[in-house]
Structures are given as C-alpha cells and as structure tokens.
Amino acid sequence: MTLKDFDPNIDIGERDLRLLDRWIINLFRKLVLKATNAMDNYDFMTASTSIIDFTWHKLCDHYIEAVKYRVTMEGENISKRAAQYTLYNILLKILQLLSPFTPHIVEEIYHQLYVDKMPWKSITISEWPKIDEIDEKSIKEGDIIVSLIAAMRRIKHDLRIPLNQPVSSATIFTEKYLKLIRENLDDIKYTLKIEKIELKESGEGRYRVEEYPEISFNLT
C-alpha cells in the first residue's frame, strides 16, 4: 500500500537518504555478506536464520516503524520517496535471498510487486544481491537513534500509553550525542508521536537508554 505511488525509476541519491535509510541499507549489506559466505559453505541454517533475524528484528521492528510517518505523507516529498526507495529495494533483495528457502511464496510476492518492473520473469533466475562498500559509521549512528526510539517506546508502553496515542512532551538529556539526536529529531518525534521534544546538554532524565547510558529522557 505504501509503495503504490512509487516509481522505481526515480533518481534517489545518497544525499537524499536519511540516517535510518543508510542504517538499514548498510545492515543489509552486512547480511548479504554473511548469508553469501554461509551459502558458499553449505551452512544453510546460518544463512536462513540471519535473513530472518534481519527481516524481523531490524527491518520490521525498527525501520518500518520509524518510516511509517514518511511513507504516508501527502504529495511529493523527497523524504517520503527516499523511504519508499529504501523499502522497495530492500524487500526485493530480501526476496532474492529467501528464494532458495521459500521459493513459492517469494515468487508470489515478486509477481505481485515487481515482475512488471524487473527484467526477470521469475525471481528464481534473478541475480544474487551484490554489495557495495559497508558504511560502518551509518550503522553505528543509526544504532544510537534506533536504541533511543526503542527505549522511549518501551517506556511509553510501560506507562500504558497506546503506541499510536500522542505524547505531550519529552525531554532528552545528553551531551555526547546531542548533535546526532538533533539531526534526527524528526524520526524520533514522529515515530513516537511526541508533540514537543526538548534537548538538554546537561541534567538527567528519569529513564535511560540501556545500550547508551549517556542518554536519558523524560516522557510527560
């Protein structure tokens, strides 16, 4: 549904991608490397479980949740197109990786979404995904933003606030990651439906991000 108005021929460059787009793209590149090595060594269990882990815990749990507000934007917007571009290409390549394991359902999805736009009549004869250089910085910085969003979602749940219900305000305390968080504030704000976010370089919030204890926050 979120890709119905997407043109795969649209020109999306690296400059158009946001941090979380680059994060999931580079995590996928690492997945391709791991799955390819496993398949070359006939280690089908490692290959399949790594694909499942990425799809379930990285793409679905985090990336899709964080870009829902972007792909549902009205009208033409480069941020929306960048998210659609990322989803479109990542899903296609996941289908290519999954094709040896679940050929029938993957073929069905391919024909529903891609066959008219791709040179292959069947995904089973498509090329195995190739990887570019892996940007470890985007992964590291994306992990910080994803961990902050996940921590705030958990607290929102613990406070018995429905995830789709707006929150009046939040305050994030950090000195070390202040610039990074400020640059990605929209993804935090709109993913969590927070009406107003304040960043503070000093002080300490009631709740802390477990993976990055230098970041704490309050939700009200």
Helix and strand element counts for the chain (H, E): 8, 4
Structural domain that includes position 157:
136-219
Tell me: do 89 and 20 sit in the same domain. yes
**Mean pLDDT value across residues 30-50:** 97
Tell me: do 60 and 161 sit in the same domain. no
For residues 121 and 162, give the distance between their C-alpha atoms in angstroms, rounded to a whole number.
44
Tell me: do 86 and 165 sit in the same domain. no
Specify the pLDDT at position 75. 77
Out of 125, 151, 182, a domain closes at 125
Out of 87, 103, 125, a domain closes at 125
Specify the pLDDT at position 4. 78
Tell me: do 96 and 162 sit in the same domain. no
Q: How confident is the model at residue 121 (pLDDT cuts 50, 70, 90)?
A: very high
Whether residue 22 is contained in a domain is answered as yes
Q: What does pTM read for this prediction?
A: 0.94
Tell me: do 115 and 143 sit in the same domain. no
Nearest residue to 88 (alpha-carbon basis) of 48, 117, 62: 117
Whether residue 33 is contained in a domain is answered as yes
Whether residue 4 is contained in a domain is answered as no
Specify the pLDDT at position 213. 97
Specify the pLDDT at position 178. 97
Model confidence pLDDT, tens digit, residues 59-74: 999 999 999 999 998 8
Reply yes or no on whether the pLDDT at 9 is more than 90.
Answer: no
Percent of the chain with pLDDT over 70: 100
Out of 96, 125, 154, a domain closes at 125
Reply yes or no on whether the pLDDT at 10 is more than 90.
Answer: no
**Mean pLDDT value across residues 98-111:** 96
- Cβ contact 180:144 at 8 Å: yes
Q: How many domains does the chain have?
A: 2
Single-letter code of the amino acid located at 19 = L
Tell me: do 68 and 155 sit in the same domain. no
